[in-house]
Each structure stands twice: as C-alpha cells, then as structure tokens.
Copies of this chain bind each other. A is one copy, B any other.
C-alpha cells in the first residue's frame, strides 16, 4: 500500500503539483472551476492526505506548540491542558503534550526533543531546575510561556495564581469561624516550586495581619510519609494541636484527610479543613470540603493566546510581568 503523494493527485487530475498545492491551501482565486473539480475528485478517489512533515520542512514551521507539564496526573493540569488544546485548535495549532514528572532532566530532554521536532513555541510548567536552558531559549528569541510557576528573572510571560490571596482567603475564613490554631500542610519546598513557597509566605502574612503568630511546627511540608509523620507527632502533643488545617495542594489534602480519618478526628467539629485544587469528589464527600479554587480555564485560555500571539510576532521583551489570577473560596461544610 504505497503512500499517495501530491504527484499522484496531480497525475490523476492531469495538472501539475503546484496547482494541487494551490488547491490544498484553498487558493482557488485563479483556478478554473473545472480544474478544481478534477483535483477534488482525484483527491477523493485516491484518499490523499497531505504530508505535513514535508510541508513543515518547507515552511519552517509546524503549527504545533509543545506543552511540558510538571505532573499530568494532577486534575489541575489536565483541565488546563484541555483548554489550551481547545484554544490552540481554534487557531489551527496542535499541541504536543509531554509530562516532565517534576524532573528537571526529563524537562530538558523534552525541550530538546520538541525543538528538534521544530515546534513553533513552548508552554511550560517549569520544574525550576533548568535556568540555563531557559536563558538560551530567550537568547534564541524562541517563543516560550510559563504557567503556574515563575522563574526569576521573568524572561517569559508567566501566568500564575495569586498565591498570597489564596492563603489569605483560607486563613481569614478559619478566623471568622473562630479557629486560630491554623496548620498548613503541603508538599516539599526543597526544589523551590513557587506556588508552594508563595502559599506559605501568604499564610504567614495573613496570620501576621490578623495578629496571630507563626508557629513553625504548624507548617508541615514533605512527601506522603513525611507529612504523615509530622502530623502524627504534632498530634501527640495535645497542647500543640491545631484546630484548623489548610492543605495547599491535592496530594497534601489527601494525606491530611487520610490522617484525620485514621485518627477519627471529626471535620468540622474537631478541626476545620480547607484544601486547594477542587475536585468533584471534594463536593460529594461527607462533609463536603471547602476549597480555594483557581480559575483554570481562564489561565489556560490566556496562556494559549499569549503563545499564539508570540508565534505571530516573536519579539520578546527584555523582561515580563507575572499575570496573576484571583482565587475564589468555595464554601462547603468543612469549616
């Protein structure tokens, strides 16, 4: 089963390749209606599909955007990918999604691979471990947009949640309810991932503004095991027990919920809980969990549009501002 090429269509229709090319690219202006029809039929009969690889080579553009996500098992991520895909499709771009798994080496390998594949631009949830590479991309004036996390200096347009506000929303909700012994639970901040650091910063600021002091013991970060152990030991000391928990991401929320369940600590009677990254299950669970949600769709749409704009006019500014999005509190039953 030989591949059908443009030449086959041209031969069958009795015209030259270039005329077929015109047809494929919807430039019928000066084409005789009869010619057009003959080409149409030939394509139909042969089942011809144009070869984008050849087209891309010639045009030096692929109409595809590489998307490198930090963790694609996260619903936050998939929701954003989905709107990015929609927005790109509307503008005749395709996206090539890669999962860096929060691993800088994988990220680097994917960036190189996507460049080799000649993508027209890159949307990245940066791992924070490839500053040098980002600089090179900037020097090459390659279109890049960051989302969710920022890398200093801000070489590329960056779209992020207002993480300070996020923590403020949670803390003030707890205070309103009269719970001031507030514990924050999150994943490791060792690799310097901005949202985590900013949310902790925002938590401290919010406590301060409300005249509460920061208890370092009430800032728990780590992997599943680490979080669990710290939760355990924190709970030993009855004096030190918090009466409210703010989980700053889905994984931390899970560990927290599991811990509370195991120890038969009741929500909201014993402790209040607010988590981030809404999931339908959080609304369906008992009690339904109050969350701070982020405007995923808008962030995805804006990111994609910025990317498309950059591809159209790849003149990068020296430095960029970070675009911030306001979080919202979705009140349910856990506070």
Using a CB–CB cutoff of 8 Å, the interface residues on chain A facing chain B are 1, 3, 47, 49-54, 56-57, 60, 62, 72-73, 75, 78-79, 81-82, 85, 94, 96-99, 112-113, 115-118, 136, 139-141, 254, 257-258, 261, 279-286, 288
Contacts and interface: CB of A to CB of B under 8 A. Distances in A.
A71 to B, nearest CB: 10
B78 A82 contact: no
Contact of A52 (B116, B258, B282): B116
B112 A49 contact: yes
A72 B84 CA distance: 13
A242 B73 CA distance: 35
Nearest to A282: B281
Nearest to A285: B285
Contacts of A115: 49
A46 to B, nearest CB: 12
Nearest to A74: B78
A271 B56 CA distance: 59
Given A47-B136, A78-B78, A62 B73 contact: no
A281 B255 CA distance: 10
Q: Which of A49, A113, A136, A140 has the most CB of B within 10 A?
A: A49
Contacts of A79: 73
Given A54-B57, A73-B82, A116 B284 contact: no
B118 A51 contact: yes
Oligomer: number of copies: 2
A257 B285 CA distance: 8
A51 B282 contact: no
A23 to B, nearest CB: 15
Contacts of A282: 281
Contacts of A279: 281
Closest 10 CB pairs of A and B: A281-B281, A257-B284, A285-B285, A52-B116, A53-B118, A258-B284, A52-B117, A53-B57, A254-B280, A53-B56
A54 B53 CA distance: 8
A72 B62 contact: no
A194 to B, nearest CB: 24
Nearest to A283: B258
Given A51-B57, A85-B99, A96-B96, 20 more contacts: A1-B139, A1-B140, A1-B141, A51-B118, A52-B116, A53-B57, A53-B118, A72-B82, A73-B79, A73-B82, A82-B99, A94-B96, A94-B98, A94-B113, A254-B281, A257-B284, A258-B283, A281-B282, A284-B285, A286-B286
Contact of A261 (B72, B139, B258, B288): B288
A56 B82 CA distance: 28
